[in-house]
Every structure is written in C-alpha cells, then in structure tokens.
C-alpha cells in the first residue's frame, strides 16, 4: 500500500493539469468529476495508507519513497522523495480528507460561476502544493510546496479578478506572506549551509550533534523559520492579510483556513522540532507569538459584522493556540488541535458559505437572522461547529484539543501561568464571539428571504464534518478523564512526547479544566444575553464615545493595518519618492546604460558586410596565434 504514496500528491497535480489544459472543453460536469475525483481518490489512498500505518507501522516509523534523483552533483543531492511519518500522515489525512469535502461542496457553491473549471484547477493545485509541502523529504520540495501554496492562495483570493478590491486583497496576501517567505528562505539556506544537506531527517539527526542547546546559529535559524511560519499562518505581526483574504470564494477560505496554507506554519515548526528544541529562546518566542495572537485576534473577532471575517479572526486565534502549544513544547497537542480545528473550521466556513448563498451573497450577519428554521441542517451543523470552536465542555471535540493546550500552557516545561491565563481568557472570548455570530445569524427575525436551499452536495460535507467536529476529540482524552492517549501515542514516533511529565498535578489539571468549561458556558450565556435577550446593552455601550472608539478599534483588527500603513508603507513610499537619485539608484541607472552601450558597440561589428566578417575571422585567428606564440 505504501508504494501508492506517490499518487497522493500526483493526483491533484494531474487534476490541475487536465483542468488547466482542457478545462473549457470538459464542461462543468466533467470538470467537477476531475476536480473532486482527483482529491477523492487521493483521500482514499491516504486513508488506506493510514490504516496500514496504524496496523503495521513501517520500519523506523517512517516510510520514504524515493521517486528519482532530481540533481546529483557531489554533495548537493536532491531526491524527489516523499517522507511519510506520523506527523505528515496526520497532515496528509486532514488535507485530503477535509479537502475532499470542500471540493464536493464547491460543486454546488460554484455551480453558476463561469470560471468553474479554472476554480477547480486552482483548488487542485492548491491541495497538490500543500501535499508536496508536508510530504516532501527535503527542504527544496518543502520550499517548492510552500511557494506553490502561496501562489495558489494569490490566484484563489483574487479569483474574481474583475473586482479590483479582490485583486488588492490577493496582492496584500501575497506580499505580506512574501515578507515571511524571504525570512524562511534565508533560514533554509542557513540550514543547508550548516549541515550540507537538504534532507530534513538528516538535518534533524545532525542538529543535536552539531549545535549545542542555545547555539546562536540555531536561534537565528529557528527565528528565521518562524518568520516564514508567522507569514503563512497569519500570526502576529503578519496576520493582517488573512481577514482580507475573505475576498475569495468561500470554499477557498475553507481550504485556506482548514486544510492548507495557514497550517503550513504549524507544520514547519512541528517538522523542525528537533532544531527548535535546541533554541529555547525561539520556543519561547513562538509561545509568546501564539498567546499574543490568540488574544488580539479574539478581540478583533468581537466586533466584526462580516460573518466570514469573524471566522477569519477565529482562525488566527486558533492558530495562535497551536503556536502556543508548539512554543511550550506540547507538540502533539498542537497537532491534535490542528486536526480538530480543521474539521470544525471547514465546517463553519462551509456553513457560512451555505448561509451566504442563501442570503443573496450578503455577508453582513446583522442583516441576517432567523435562519435556524429555514436552513435546519446548516443550522445544526453550524451549531456543532461553533460549539467545537467555543470548546463547549465534554460533548465537542474542540474542548478536548483546546483543553490540552491550555493545560500544557501552564504545566509543560516551557509554560507558565501567564501563558495559561492568556489561553484561558482567549477561550472565553472565543466562546463569546462565536455564539454572538450564531445568535445573530440564526435567531431573531428573518430579514432576507432564503434564495438558495442547499442540496446534498452541501449537506453531506456539512454532516460528515459535523460528525468529526463532535466525536473527533475522543481519540485523545486528558489525564483526568481516562487518560486515553491514542493520538499522542501515534505521534510519538515523529514528535517527542511530554505527556508523562505533565500529568502529575491532577488537582490543578481539574481546576484548569473546570475553569475553562465554566468560562465557555458563561461566554455563551453572555452572548445570548447581549445579542438575543437585551441587545440594547450593546447598543448603549457603543453609543458612548469610548465604546464607539473601542468598537472601531476592534473592528479594524486592532489597528494593525493602520499602524503598518504609517509605520512601513508611508515612510517607505516617502523615502522612495524623495530619494530618487541616490547612489543605489545611480547604480541601477548605470547598469542598463552600460549594457546598452555594450550592445551598440557589439552591434557595430554586425555590419552585414561579408568582407568585414572575413576580416574578423582572420583577425581572430591572428590574435589567437599571437597568444600561443607569445605564451
């Protein structure tokens, strides 16, 4: 079964090729079959491989499929090889499985779009690039996938390119992530330079021997990689692109948020855990970034009116949790939350998409309302997703995954009480804005008539994902509730485990869990009171000057765009404008000028006259002979 691994990334690429080359001729039905089918088969193969992996793990708990050697020159040796271990298996599974449902859903969502096949081509490429990223066994493939993902996000966010605002959002996403990519590329070079190999596993095994803990190079390399990770994963300070990325079609958002793109940063750090462990400083920075991001994004989520933007900020916030977990060294908890998050975030985005489709493409949730009756399936599944996001205790998967992170934020080696407090407070905010969204959208008065009733292609993905958002959490139960550690045991082969250390203080753990649970319930109640029972409290508050300012501040994502505009963009433009003729510019003016002079000088020799040509050859011969005679 393992031998079919190469098909997993190949099929989406194949789908992309077919759709890109013959898309127009295929028609919508066939395009859908190709687009969805390629991912579907990919997912099926992944599941079969996964079963095989669980039942009889390969030797060394990792399977490497070397397809061919791309370049082999001395020590620079690049294999096109896939590396499958527990970590990449989880990612592959989530990408293909969740990706498949999103694709299926898109068939209905995009049915009326004229660029149907182009959409599926991009989506397939997106999934393919992401699979390359997580399965690649060397830095070059990883980087290739990384850039591919960036390119696809650009294409998909700007999918409706006729509206210039979408193009702007796409460019913003591209440029902001590029900032991180540049840092990451330098980091990768640094790794290659230090270890002389591109193979990730070799780097990881060599790292502890070459670098001692706290080595400067290790810190620099990990921080540079972190730069790439925060760019792709929309973490502080590069989180500004993600809310604007909502300009793309909703399934794109689902794909970006759940399965691909934003989780790439999480994968990168988890994959490079061996190096991060050598740089405790960087670990701490990761944790801080995560904690700060989850709070800031949470605040921003409180006041959003666009349903998709709420979800966008919730994603930033949830990825913040994952970073927090990575930073404190709770590797498997981060990956666990990643998986659960993928389920419920995909579910939420697809649900939001169904709502938007039903509301004439209206995205302002305050213009909606009372949709619970009209769209029952959407409502129930959306509720499940929201519950999971808000980490409603015991019944939802999100509770188990988030609880693990909150607990480790305190108890793990790198954790402390401040991180824990931030995480707990973040959980409270999350519950609040999530259910604010639910209450505003589904309850109260129906304001817009329902224009589109979803068919099975929307319902089935919603139900399947809802199932996982509910029950997916039971594969990993905390120490206080049976200590069932299927998931982290599974990951143990790829990521260092730390559960044994962390589950000592049982009473504290109980306290943490109960507090989180209670806060989640309270936040839901609060949202119920403020947005359904007595909405005047909110309006009263926002009518005051302070309230209005605060609302505006939160709405703009805590003013980061404003800040960057003043901090970077304007000074940069100013410098560029006022300083047109500096030394560097002169250099760049001089270079083309010189090249042009050379061109004219050389083209003078091309006179078109045969006799001069003959003379040239003769002179060349004479000069050559002179050289050898003199030497």
Give the footprint of another protein on this chain (CB under 8 A).
68-74, 76, 80, 595-596, 598-599, 601-603, 605-621, 624-625, 627-629, 631
Question: CA 450 to CA 448: how far, in whole Å?
Answer: 6
Which is closer to another protein, CB of 417 or CB of 601?
601
Which is closer to another protein, CB of 451 or CB of 595?
595
Tokens of 192: 């290659």
Question: CA 209 to CA 42: how far, in whole Å?
Answer: 38
Task: Please state the three-class secondary structure of 90-148 as a single string.
Answer: HHHHHHHHHHHHHHHHHHHHCCCCCCHHHHHHHHHHHHHHHHHHHHECEHHHHHHHHHH
Angle at 425 between CA 307 and CA 435, to 5 degrees: 30
For residue 540, the minimal CB distance to another protein (Å) is: 55
Which is closer to another protein, CB of 133 or CB of 221?
133
For residue 151, the minimal CB distance to another protein (Å) is: 13
Q: Beta-strand (E) ranges in 327-471?
A: none
For residue 143, the minimal CB distance to another protein (Å) is: 11
Which is closer to another protein, CB of 26 or CB of 334?
26
Which is closer to another protein, CB of 51 or CB of 615?
615
For residue 621, the minimal CB distance to another protein (Å) is: 5
* Farthest CA pair distance, the chain: 102
Which is closer to another protein, CB of 162 or CB of 611?
611
Kindly provide the b/e burial profile for residues 261-284, where b requires at least 16 CB atoms within 10 angstroms of the residue's own CB: bbbbbbbbbbbbbbbbbbbbebbe
For residue 626, the minimal CB distance to another protein (Å) is: 10
For residue 269, the minimal CB distance to another protein (Å) is: 26
For residue 325, the minimal CB distance to another protein (Å) is: 36
For residue 17, the minimal CB distance to another protein (Å) is: 11
Give the residue from 345, 481, 346 showing the smallest Cα distance to 403.
Answer: 481
Query: Three-class SS of residue 249?
Result: coil
Contact of 299 with 429, CB cutoff 8 Å:
yes
Which is closer to another protein, CB of 73 or CB of 584?
73
Which is closer to another protein, CB of 148 or CB of 353?
148
Contact of 346 with 94, CB cutoff 8 Å:
no
For residue 67, the minimal CB distance to another protein (Å) is: 9
Which is closer to another protein, CB of 586 or CB of 618?
618
For residue 599, the minimal CB distance to another protein (Å) is: 5
Kindly provide the b/e burial profile for residues 413-425, where b requires at least 16 CB atoms within 10 angstroms of the residue's own CB: ebbeeebbebbbe
Contact of 279 with 218, CB cutoff 8 Å:
yes
Contact of 36 with 107, CB cutoff 8 Å:
yes
Question: CA 54 to CA 475: how far, in whole Å?
Answer: 14
Which is closer to another protein, CB of 71 or CB of 175?
71
For residue 5, the minimal CB distance to another protein (Å) is: 17
Which is closer to another protein, CB of 533 or CB of 596?
596
Tokens of 85: 């271990």
Provide the residue count of the chain: 631
Query: Three-class SS of residue 360?
Result: coil
Kindly provide the b/e burial profile for residues 368-405, where b requires at least 16 CB atoms within 10 angstroms of the residue's own CB: bbebbebbebbbbbbbbbbbbbbbbbeebbbbbbbbbb
Question: CA 235 to CA 274: how far, in whole Å?
Answer: 22
């Amino acid at each position: 079964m393992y031998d079919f691994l190469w098909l997993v990334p190949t099929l989406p690429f194949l789908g992309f090729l077919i759709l890109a080359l013959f898309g127009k001729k295929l028609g919508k039905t066939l395009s859908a079959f190709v687009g969805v089918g390629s991912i579907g088969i990919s997912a099926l193969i992944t599941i079969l491989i996964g079963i095989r992996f669980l039942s009889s793990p390969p030797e060394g708990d990792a399977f490497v499929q070397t397809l061919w050697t791309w370049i082999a020159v001395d020590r620079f040796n690049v294999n096109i090889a896939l590396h499958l271990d527990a970590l990449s298996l989880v990612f592959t599974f989530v990408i293909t499985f969740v990706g498949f449902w999103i694709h299926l859903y898109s068939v209905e969502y995009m049915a009326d779009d004229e660029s149907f096949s182009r959409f599926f081509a991009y989506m397939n490429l997106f999934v393919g690039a992401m699979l390359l990223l997580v399965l690649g066994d060397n830095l070059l493939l990883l980087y290739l996938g990384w850039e591919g993902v960036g390119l696809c996000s650009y294409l998909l966010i700007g999918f409706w390119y006729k509206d210039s605002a979408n193009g702007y959002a796409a460019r913003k996403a591209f440029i902001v992530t590029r900032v991180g990519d540049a840092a990451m590329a330098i980091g990768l070079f640094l790794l290659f330079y230090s270890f002389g190999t591109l193979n990730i596993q070799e780097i990881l095994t060599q790292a502890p021997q070459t670098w001692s803990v706290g080595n400067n190079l290790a810190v620099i390399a990990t921080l540079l990689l972190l730069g790439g990770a925060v760019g792709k994963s929309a973490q502080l300070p590069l989180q500004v692109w993600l809310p604007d990325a909502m300009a793309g079609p909703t399934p794109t958002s689902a794909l970006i948020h759940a399965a691909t793109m934003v989780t790439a940063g999480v994968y990168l750090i988890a994959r490079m855990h061996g190096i991060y462990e050598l740089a405790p400083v960087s670990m701490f920075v990761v944790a801080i970034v995560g904690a700060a991001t989850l709070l800031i994004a949470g605040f921003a989520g409180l006041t959003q009116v666009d349903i998709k933007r709420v979800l966008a900020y919730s994603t930033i916030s949830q990825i913040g949790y994952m970073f927090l977990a990575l930073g404190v060294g709770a590797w498997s908890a981060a990956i666990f939350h990643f998986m659960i998050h993928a389920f419920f975030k995909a579910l939420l985005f697809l649900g939001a998409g169904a709502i938007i489709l039903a509301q004439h493409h209206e995205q302002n949730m305050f213009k909606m309302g009372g949709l619970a009756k009209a769209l029952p399936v959407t409502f129930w599944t959306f509720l499940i997703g929201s519950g999971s996001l808000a980490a409603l205790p015991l019944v939802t998967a999100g509770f188990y995954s988030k609880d693990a992170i909150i607990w480790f934020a305190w108890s793990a080696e790198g954790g402390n009480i401040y991180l824990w407090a931030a995480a707990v407070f973040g959980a409270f905010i999350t519950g609040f804005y999530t259910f604010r969204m639910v209450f505003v959208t589904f309850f109260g008065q129906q304001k817009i008539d329902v224009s589109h009733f979803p068919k099975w292609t929307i319902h089935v993905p919603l139900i399947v994902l809802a199932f996982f958002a509910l029950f997916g959490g039971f594969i990993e139960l905390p120490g206080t509730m049976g200590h069932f550690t299927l998931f982290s045991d599974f990951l143990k082969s790829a990521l260092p485990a730390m559960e044994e250390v962390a589950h000592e203080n049982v009473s504290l753990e109980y306290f943490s869990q109960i507090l989180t649970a209670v806060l989640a319930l309270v936040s839901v109640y609060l949202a119920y009171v403020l947005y359904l029972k007595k909405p005047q409290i909110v309006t009263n508050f926002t009518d005051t000057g302070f309230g209005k300012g605060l609302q505006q501040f939160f709405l703009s994502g805590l003013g980061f765009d404003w800040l960057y505009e003043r901090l970077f963009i304007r000074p940069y433009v100013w410098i560029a404008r006022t300083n047109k003729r500096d030394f560097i510019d002169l250099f760049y003016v001089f270079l083309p000028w010189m090249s042009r002079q050379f061109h004219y000088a050389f083209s003078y020799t091309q006179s078109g006259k045969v006799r001069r040509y003959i003379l040239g050859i003769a002179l060349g011969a004479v000069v050559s002979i002179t050289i050898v005679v003199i030497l």
